[in-house]
Chain A
Amino acid sequence: MAGRTFVVLAVVVVAAGVIVTVLDVNQYYYFAAYVVLQYVVLASAWNILGGYTGYVNFGTPAFFALGAYTAVVLIQSMNAPLVVQLVAGAAVAGTLGLGIGYLTLRLRGVFFSIATLALAVVLQTLFINWEYTGGARGITLTRPATVPLGGSYVEYLFVVMLVLAVITVATAWWIEHSWVGRGLAAIRDNEEAAECMGVPTLRLKLVATTVSGLLMGLAGAPFPYYVTFIEPASVFDLNYAVNSLAMPMIGGSTTWMGPVIGAVLLGTAQQVATVTISSALNLLIVGVILVAFVILAPEGIVGLVQRLVRRGPA
């Protein structure tokens, strides 16, 4: 897909989102769509490090929660507007990504993954013991009285998350189609060969951890106003780690489209299951679908379609 087509598509998506808020439908749909879009951001962000670069990150909850807690601190201390929360949440989570990159990127394969898992645990412990942001009990937040766009605040948050999703997917698209993406793919395929071909492997991996962490923090920043109640157990939920990994795997982890498809399908399925059956069923659904894909279509939906198309005409 050419750059111009992509930009047009992005604008159309955002415009459609704004138009949708005019419709007079049940508020729950915006509420549910927000979660799906949040997963588009998380899955696409995860994929920059996990799919493009080949470093599997189990620490999504750490970056997501850091974005959310940064927003909490800003609301508590100065009642900062949402835009400030977004920028700060992204910056703090991006800094964490850079730091974690420095500390752990000499570890390869499963050792890197274990380190990221530990990161989430450490950070959760930290916030459980920090009273200012509510500690283990959690903290209740009040949304601003005025809604910038008109309509309800949930509709507003839905549009915000839609814009964040478009920004994230655009970032992933750019990386994939640039020399940066080719360098990351070389690292994924063979790190030693990449380094010997002139690829600055350490620096590029730091770019990947930073951008990936930053975007995850961006997804977390509007969360306090979305749920209006933040507690460590829910923002550090393992669901975020599992979903942001499973969605790209199911959709296809080598293209920007994969995480989007995976997040929309799996995210929607989870929302439907939450309403119709039970919320506890979510992880089971993810687990079963993931196992099925790993066995039957290891390259995800995108890979499966590509394979069928290639076979088709011949």
Chain B
Amino acid sequence: MNAAAERGSGDACLDIREVSKRFGGFQALNAVSLRIRPGERFGLIGPNGSGKTTLINCISGTLRTDGGRIVFEGADITGLAAHRRTRLGIARSFQIPKPFTSMTVLENLMIPIEYARLGHRDGVVDEAMGILARVGLAAKAQVPSRALTQIEMRKLELARAMAARPKLLVSDEAMAGLSSAEVDDILAILLQLNGQGITVIMIEHIMRAVMRFSERIAVLDAGEKIAEGTPDQILGNKTVERAYLGE
């Protein structure tokens, strides 16, 4: 079984093996393992403080793990700096939008185009405009990014991640605080990206969105994976119900 799992890791887009993370005396992640297949739509849910964002930070490289390994497309990236992981094809959006505030919307996209894909210097503006058009921000290209509305900032987060040409996109609560129509907007963008072959991990509290979007879902609670399966399996899972609603 173990040998088969080792061999099988070559087929996974992202293979998270018993990843642990402590903050002082607090065990934020406890030996969490996940295998995400290429092209998959994967949902990651769990109550507040269950370790979802910590796991994302470990995947993107802004946090170092205390134990376990992270393998991306067959290569061990556990010790790699975040910008190197982005260049390999892992992009993320932030839960709280972090635009480059001194720049226009267009300039925000130039950063990943120039830096995530080295040597890419020509046609930068055209490409950035193309991405902005796809997320519906083309009219805002020359606007300072700090002047955007909440939904526009979320879209800019996704646009920036797209500009890095990722193979794996990690969307950290891109829909929190948005109206139902806006949620559909973001969902459509993510589905379209997935349609192009990009693997998507979605962290979300809006159940309607996660359930509709995900092919498989994993549930975290208090730093441990308590369930994994299709949306239907998760909905019927008693442990998950207890984690969310209590005994």
Contact = CB atoms under 8 A, between A and B. Distances in A.
Given A182-B107, A192-B62, A199 B102 contact: no
B219 interface: no
B103 A197 contact: no
A183 interface: yes
B98 A198 contact: no
Given A192-B62, A195-B82, A179 B121 contact: yes
Among A183, A190, A197, A201, residue most surrounded by chain B Cβ atoms (within 10 Å): A197
Nearest to B62: A192
Indicate the member of B83, B98, B101, B103 with the most A CB atoms within 10 Å.
Answer: B83
A183 B81 contact: no
Contacts, number: 78
A201 B101 CA distance: 17
A197 B116 contact: yes
A198 B103 contact: no
Given A185-B102, A190-B98, A196 B110 contact: no
Interface string B75-91: 00000011100110001
A131 interface: no
Interface in A174-194: 179, 182-183, 185-186, 188-190, 192-194
Given A182-B114, A186-B111, A193 B98 contact: yes
Contacts of B43: none
Nearest to B87: A198
A193 B100 contact: yes
A197 B102 contact: no
Contact of A183 (B82, B101, B111): B111
B51 interface: no
B60 interface: yes
Given A188-B102, A190-B99, A195 B116 contact: no
A254 B103 CA distance: 11
Given A192-B98, A198-B83, A185 B115 contact: no
Contact-size category for A? 20 to 34
A81 interface: no
Nearest to B90: A196
B197 to A, nearest CB: 20
Contacts of A200: 81, 83, 115
Contacts of B61: 195-196
Residue from the set B92, B98, B116, B160 with the largest chain A CB neighbour count within 10 Å: B98
Nearest to B160: A197
Contacts of B81: 195, 200, 202
A33 to B, nearest CB: 33
Interface in B106-149: 107, 110-112, 114-117, 121
B164 interface: yes
A197 B112 contact: yes
A136 to B, nearest CB: 44
A179 B114 CA distance: 7
A22 B91 CA distance: 61
Contact of B92 (A185, A188, A196, A254): A196
Contacts of B121: 179
B118 to A, nearest CB: 8
A189 B100 contact: yes
Nearest to B163: A197
Which of A179, A186, A193, A198 is packed against the most chain B CB atoms within 10 Å?
A198
Contacts of A189: 99-103
Instruction: Pick from B91, B102, B121, B164 the residue with the most CB of A within 10 Å.
Output: B102
Contacts of A186: 100, 103, 111
A197 B62 contact: no
Contacts of B91: 196
Given A182-B107, A193-B100, A196-B62, A201 B83 contact: yes
24 contacts: A182-B107, A183-B111, A183-B115, A185-B100, A185-B102, A188-B102, A190-B98, A190-B101, A193-B99, A193-B100, A194-B100, A195-B61, A195-B62, A196-B82, A196-B94, A197-B86, A197-B112, A197-B115, A197-B116, A197-B164, A198-B83, A198-B112, A200-B81, A200-B115
Interface of A: 179, 182-183, 185-186, 188-190, 192-202, 254
Given A193-B100, A196-B94, 10 more contacts: A182-B103, A185-B100, A189-B99, A190-B99, A190-B100, A194-B111, A196-B92, A197-B160, A200-B83, A202-B81
